[in-house]
Structure 1
């Protein structure tokens, strides 16, 4: 009887030990999986050298003004998994979550007419749509509706933007012409990780307090500094189309000297600058397609111009006259 009890105890210990080992191994593999899920390295911003390049000097015919469009920082919680520019009419076509300012109705089913009639978060009445992928902290589970619906490996608490700056600038070499109403535009490359190319990688990451230092990696910022994302849009329009099949060829980037390619015309240059309060050591990840593994190089943004002709004319006049304006 004693032998039977000892054998039973031994079997129980073996079962418990095997289960415990499997649990530890599973937890270790899960942690490794989470670490491997985010592609690309992070870099201490203090180790990033300042960019030696300087903006081209403004020539005599430049449009040296700037216009800040005050649209808030998505206090309304306008998120969805749509992409009106790239996949109109397709619900959840982005496969990740976008955050918006400006037009409060923007989703996959929006039309020019619905956008023109909608409310906006912009103080001056600009109904344009400005949007980008959300940034998450992956050490916390998300509790909101849009923190679960994206799927495709995009999990974690959505980080609110500490600030959102929407700014238009002119050209260093010439006056700019108005954008056509309902122009669609995009910047960045959402598939840069698998494409292995950098030509369309446009977003630059950084930290407040370190001007001139930018990286395509996730930045590690010291305490008290905010993570920043800066997305600059192309500003040379072909004069014909408000959109293109490839979403790019109707609106191109100027040369580093600010000169537009032949056959295109300079329009206002849009810049979206975002910041986030993230404590040192907190892991973050950009929403992405699953195969892109949250690479920071895949950062991108979209824009649909819904300004009235009067609003666009006033913006262009401010840029061409070299003034600093806010709307």
Structure 2
């Protein structure tokens, strides 16, 4: 079985390579806080907690007229030229005594090699033929933070995987968002990790850098999953690199069912205090100059330096050191008496 899944994963990588090499790199946590400059600009203590990675110019407002690549002095991502910001909700374990704790994260392994993260997530830019890189000021949102209906989510784009190995390097399953992957967060003692995948739309209307709902200016193509997105609809004819977030939530210390809630509530929830259907990801473009376009045009791959595009890479020690103080200060680590919503969170 393991050999079969490795072959499937290798075929996925080969299919992507046939379309054009993909970037795949680590981004460590810049900060974990309740801000969301895309959906709730200017607000501190937003409705739920986010983990943010990328350039350190991230702030509560993120004025679209400002260029993160010019304002950031460091980035928590592998590529020096990438000052973009990427963020997602946080996963919590809910103990039967009512307290909550943030689930730790690890870098991803797999056939393409291990990525080293201090929390955070892994980012992919997957081309499919000739693609147009995002423009300065571009931003978008995938998923809905209020959704509770799994049938409203395309499992081929947003999913969770039960990872039965205690090591992220021991590959489990086939390509992302396929097979037994689910929209709902797995709740099975056999799961030692949960791999979350969020795939963004790869088609753009060619005009708007954003839209009121942060989604209407982009669209998913004909493809499903992490294959580059497929052909684009006439309403959104410009092909973008397909962005994918991959997160490894390590639930090994919480796989003992005796500590799970007995009142029917879920043991694992995202920071909206909701399950998998509410998974979402936010993106604000911030690559320097035309470096991303050059990376796509020159077949830059994985997390390696690419002289043709002027891409340089940082060591984990350097990108891990790029952090930022909370702009909405509150306790987010250790056992909490309640989910961080409403007033500032309190220790249990």
Instruction: Specify the alignment match of 1:286 in structure 2.
Output: 270
Instruction: Specify the alignment match of 1:19 in structure 2.
Output: none
Q: Look up the SS of the partner of 1:309 in the other structure.
A: coil
The gaps in structure 1 that reach 5 residues or longer are: 1-50, 142-152
Q: Look up the SS of the partner of 1:218 in the other structure.
A: coil
Q: TM-score, normalised by structure 2?
A: 0.63
Bigger shift: residues 102-111 or 178-187: 102-111
Query: Residue 244 of structure 1 contacts residue 250 of structure 1 at CA under 8 Å; is this kept in 2?
Result: yes
Query: Residue 63 of structure 1 contacts residue 322 of structure 1 at CA under 8 Å; is this kept in 2?
Result: no
Distance 1:200 1:105, change over 3 A: farther
- Partners of 1:123 and 1:240 lie apart in 2 by 30
Matched, 1:233 2:189: no
Instruction: Specify the alignment match of 1:167 in structure 2.
Output: 124
Q: Look up the SS of the partner of 1:228 in the other structure.
A: strand
Report the alpha carbon displacement of residue 249 of structure 1 after superposing the two structures with TM.
1.2
- Partners of 1:106 and 1:322 lie apart in 2 by 26
RMSD of aligned Cα (Å): 3.1
Matched, 1:90 2:43: yes
- What pairs with 1:185-264 in structure 2 (closer than 5 Å)? 185-193=140-148, 198-199=152-153, 202-208=157-163, 209-211=172-174, 212-220=179-187, 225-256=192-223, 258-263=230-235, 264=237
Matched, 1:266 2:229: no
The gaps in structure 2 that reach 5 residues or longer are: 1-7, 108-120, 164-171, 225-229, 261-266, 305-312, 314-348
- Partners of 2:151 and 2:143 lie apart in 1 by 12
More helix by share: 1
- Partners of 2:242 and 2:58 lie apart in 1 by 22
- What pairs with 1:20-39 in structure 2 (closer than 5 Å)? none
Instruction: Specify the alignment match of 2:138 in structure 1.
Output: 183
Q: Look up the SS of the partner of 2:290 in the other structure.
A: helix
Count of residues paired in the alignment:
248
Bigger shift: residues 107-116 or 78-87: 107-116
Deviation string 1:134-175 (CA, Å, 9 cap, x unpaired) is 00111189xxxxxxxxxxx9x62112221221111012xx31
**Aligned with 1:133 (options 84, 89, 111):** 89
Report the alpha carbon displacement of residue 184 of structure 1 after superposing the two structures with TM.
0.5
- What pairs with 1:37-116 in structure 2 (closer than 5 Å)? 63-72=19-28, 74=29, 76=30, 78-93=31-46, 95-112=47-64, 113=66, 115-116=68-69
Instruction: Specify the alignment match of 1:25 in structure 2.
Output: none
Query: Residue 67 of structure 2 contacts residue 286 of structure 2 at CA under 8 Å; is this kept in 1?
Result: no
| Structure of larger gyration radius | 1
Q: TM-score, normalised by structure 1?
A: 0.67
Distance 1:158 1:107, change over 3 A: farther
